Amino acid sequence: MPEMQSFLPHPDLLSYDEIAALVARFIDHGIRKIRLTGGEPLVRRDIAVLINALGQHVKSGALEELTMTTNGSRLEQFAPILASAGMKRINVSLDTLDPDQFKTISRGGDLDTVLKGIHAAKAHGLAVKINMVALKGENEDALMPMVAFCAEQGFDLTLIETMPLGTGVSEREAQYISLDAFTAPIRQQYDLHPLAHKSAGPARYWRVDPLGLRLGLITPMSQNFCDQCNRIRLTTDGKIYMCLGSELHVDLRKALREGVPSDVDHLLQTALRLKPQRHEFENQFAQPDLRLTRHMNATGG
């Protein structure tokens, strides 16, 4: 998130009933996997109401999977709630295991709180995958400790290239490092074997031997994967973005609040048809006037 943050007025946000109504329409259109993300989903007031409502679709078999991406700051409290709602796995964003480095990267976060949350999730039977963004000159030294930690705890580890999203992206441009370069220390010390495993996301998976660690690589910049992407993103104010790297969207909120299900269905079908062939991150890095001002947290939902 940007350091100076402005938030939407509460009436602009979809209510939990409205989100649940849209999820029902999504399911009718064949969507079978839903992830709650952000920003940080667990800071929204009474989020357990939505988690439990969506969990009913898992328990009925209408959804194959309900998952979440979280920064872990409230995970210790919510781990039992997630498990009881039918979640089987979660992603935790964690870019380093060094407390001081973590505080700097997260702008004041407490690593111990996050680790307690991660261990609480594991204790409640949730499979944990750590998402680590590769940041040149900032957390390269944190990679091997993270590899050892995940292998020891039985967690998957996914590494992600940084993307040119949001105002003030010039700093992020300087932080960019390809995963081929970032993972060089792993290849020097261990053997990597490709895996056929697929999650609901764009990661390509490898087994790190002899650790037995499952390592995912998400490479939006260095190795495009758009031809395999089947995701759409519903924001908390009712917009569907078909791609992180595009401003193209469809606004469902007006149709939803006017109570015309056929209009919602039509807009959803339109969104599915308008999914772009690929992102333009490479051009956006190279040409500042093409960069999106929308930050990643504004697309989460």
| pLDDT at 177 (0 to 100) | 93
| pLDDT at 248 (0 to 100) | 78
Residues 6+ away with beta carbon under 8 Å from 193: 206, 207, 209
pLDDT tens-digit readout, 242-301:
877 677 788 999 899 988 778 899 998 888 787 766 555 555 555 555 555 545 555 555
Per-residue confidence at 40, pLDDT binned at 50, 70, 90?
very high
Q: Smallest Cα–Cα separation from 131: which of 170, 101, 161? A: 161
Lowest-confidence range among 53-67, 78-92, 212-226? 212-226
CA-to-CA dists, residue 261 to 17, 18, 238, 254, angstroms: 14, 12, 14, 11
14-230 — its CATH code? 3.20.20.70
Cα of 88 vs its chain's centroid, Å: 16
Beta bridge partners of residue 91, listed in sequence order: 69, 129
Q: Would you kindly state where each structural domain of the chain is located, as residue ranges?
A: 1-13+232-301, 14-230
pLDDT tens-digit readout, 87-96:
999 999 999 9
Residues 6+ away with beta carbon under 8 Å from 63: 27, 32, 33, 34, 54, 57
Q: Which residue has the higher pLDDT, 175 or 65?
A: 65
Per-residue confidence at 205, pLDDT binned at 50, 70, 90?
very high
pTM for the structure as a whole: 0.87
What is the rounded average pLDDT of the residues 24-29? Answer: 92
| pLDDT at 197 (0 to 100) | 85
Three state DSSP letters for 211-280:
CCEEEEEECCCCCCCHHHCCCCEECCCCEEECCCCCCCEEECHHHHHCCCHHHHHHHHHHHHHCCCCCCC
Query: What 3-state DSSP class applies to 107?
Result: coil
Q: Smallest Cα–Cα separation from 204: which of 275, 135, 156, 141? A: 156
